[in-house]
A and B are shown apart, each in its own frame.
Chain A
Amino acid sequence: MTSVLYDAPGPRAKRRNVLISVIFFALLALLAWFIWDAMDEKNQLEWALWKPFTQSEAWTTYLLPGLGNTLKAAALAMVIALPLGAFFGISRLSDHRWVRGPAASVIEFFRAIPVLLLILFANEAYDRWANVTTEQRQLYAVVTGLVLYNASVLAEVVRAGILALPKGQSEAAKAIGLRKGQTMRTILLPQAVTAMLPAIVSQLVVIVKDTALGGVMIGFTELLNSRGTLAANYANPIASFIVVSIIYIVLNFMLTSFASWLEQRLRRSKKSTGAVLSAEDMEELNPAATGGTYGTGAGGSI
């Protein structure tokens, strides 16, 4: 698509492109050398610092349990946020103002507040008013914060998914005499769920990334927090940062790729209505097409 910006290169353009490529490559190589040199100077390249990652101990003691907690928190948050989001998303589409209004307020409120504040608040609230052990409390707090925020984001996804369906679907349901609840339950929601799947998978990436907040701010032992303990033990801050980043990148890249694979597959599918929401669609759909306000706390995939 973007190749419309330039023609197929002729001989002169080819020469120029090669020249620019060489200069750009030189700049990148310079940057890489600069980083390598800086790491060498601070002795961060020594094998002793990287060796732990080739042995099982670093993984079984620190990284895998940390990753496990990250995944556990993300999975729990997702599983709880989805039905909650569906509930609020559908409520926001209600015909009754007294249902629509409060649902919209709740959604907009929790989208406007940083997840970190929600996690900090939940952590303190569980400490003060609930009887849970410290270790459980941190997990609870992270999951609560993530659920409140992501349920409201998912509510918008659900709403956009239902609104993206062709109008004929609900008209046909009305014509055969289905009630509003039946239309939603048997006609709209099942189709909307398919349309939403890619956007939901993309939202998982956001959840996985946000679990790291719990590690830094309230001491939940997820992957980033485990990195700290690991680095303190082996004295390899840079190496541990690089390895942990790679784990996050691989994990989230798999989710992103899965989401776009799913999207393409659903778009091709003959059974669907053709309504498919990707994460990018959501950002554009949210304000304009779905007739919502400019959400206070948009930015679903960031």
Chain B
Amino acid sequence: MFDFLSDYDNPTLLGAFWMTVKLTFFSGIGSLIWGTLLAAMRVSPVPLMRGFGTAYVNIVRNIPLTVIIIFTSLGLADVFGVTMGASDFQVRGFRLAILGFVVYTAAFVCEAIRSGINTVPLGQAEAARAIGLTFSQTLRLIILPQAFRSVIGPLANVLIALTKNTTVAAAIGVAEAAYLMKQMIENEAQTLLIGAVFAFGFVVLTLPTGLFLGWLSKRLAVKR
């Protein structure tokens, strides 16, 4: 019944899901960094930076991820020759997809962190200023460490959404789970079975992540 699963070797089933994991991992790290920087800009005392942050979030959030991913391939790579240092088509697609995911997901990471900054009581920032810390010291030493602990829950949501969103990379030929499912489902007769296998794969990927980060966020939440 499951014979067809081994008929595919480019990618194999495990290989496809491994690609999904890799996409999620690198995009997750990238968007965490870029998203934190954006959040810092959005709360900074410099109006121009705040404006840039706000504009970025509002623009990127409202563009479909699919448009961004397709643009990295048809726009960045084909027109402008941006290949991210890759000669192989697969590697190029992989790196471009990560770029697209980071650009998109960072907007949501930024909003999550900003909501976390809002949960830190006023007195903390006032106390920090009273002992003479600068804005960046206040942010780095007092606000962000507390904010991060309170946004693990929302960030977990973003990470899980990112895991599911990596399927969009199939649109530019990255051999991940959705790409393989499309191939299989078109060629094989066991439509239901294939659907179940891939659904199961995503439940396996997202359920433990959600449970672990949920447990972590309850453990680390600053009790006030």
B139 within 8 A of partner (CB): yes
Chain B residues with CB under 8 Å of A224's CB are 64, 66-67, 70
B16 CB to nearest A CB, Å: 12
B33 within 8 A of partner (CB): no
A47 CB to nearest B CB, Å: 17
Docked-complex contact B48 and A25, CB < 8 angstroms: yes
B46 within 8 A of partner (CB): yes
B71 within 8 A of partner (CB): yes
| Alpha-carbon distance between A215 and B154 when the two chains are bound, in angstroms | 30
Partner of B63, one of A20, A249, A298, A300: A249
Chain B residues with CB under 8 Å of A253's CB are 58, 62
A12 CB to nearest B CB, Å: 11
A136 within 8 A of partner (CB): no
Docked-complex contact A117 and B165, CB < 8 angstroms: no
B210 within 8 A of partner (CB): yes
Which residues 174-214 of B have a CB within 8 angstroms of A? 177-178, 181-182, 185-186, 191, 195, 198-199, 202-203, 206-207, 210-211, 213-214
Partner of A113, one of B71, B162, B199, B213: B199
Chain A residues with CB under 8 Å of B215's CB are 294
Docked-complex contact B67 and A5, CB < 8 angstroms: no
Docked-complex contact B46 and A114, CB < 8 angstroms: no
B131 within 8 A of partner (CB): no
The 0/1 profile, CB within 8 Å of B marked 1, for residues 41-68 of chain A is: 0101000000000000000000000000
Q: Who on chain A is nearest to B58 by CB?
A: A253
B158 within 8 A of partner (CB): yes
Docked-complex contact A121 and B195, CB < 8 angstroms: yes
| Alpha-carbon distance between A213 and B181 when the two chains are bound, in angstroms | 15
Docked-complex contact A116 and B170, CB < 8 angstroms: yes
| Alpha-carbon distance between A297 and B70 when the two chains are bound, in angstroms | 24
- Secondary structure call for the B interface: helix
- Secondary structure call for the A interface: helix
Docked-complex contact A288 and B153, CB < 8 angstroms: yes
A6 CB to nearest B CB, Å: 4
Chain B residues with CB under 8 Å of A25's CB are 48
B194 CB to nearest A CB, Å: 8
Chain B residues with CB under 8 Å of A238's CB are 75, 79
Q: Who on chain B is nearest to A209 by CB?
A: B64
B27 within 8 A of partner (CB): no
Chain B residues with CB under 8 Å of A244's CB are 67
8 sample A-B contacts, Cβ–Cβ < 8 Å, listed by A number: A1-B118, A24-B48, A25-B48, A113-B164, A245-B71, A252-B62, A287-B217, A299-B160
Residues on B close to A: CB < 8 A? 42-43, 45-49, 52, 58-59, 61-67, 70-71, 74-75, 78-80, 105, 108, 111-112, 114-115, 117-118, 122, 125-126, 129, 135, 138-139, 143, 153-154, 156-158, 160-162, 164-165, 167-168, 170-171, 177-178, 181-182, 185-186, 191, 195, 198-199, 202-203, 206-207, 210-211, 213-215, 217-218
With A213-B66, A284-B154, A298-B157 already in contact, 6 other A-B pairs whose C-beta atoms are closer than 8 Å:
A6-B45, A38-B80, A113-B203, A120-B182, A286-B157, A287-B153
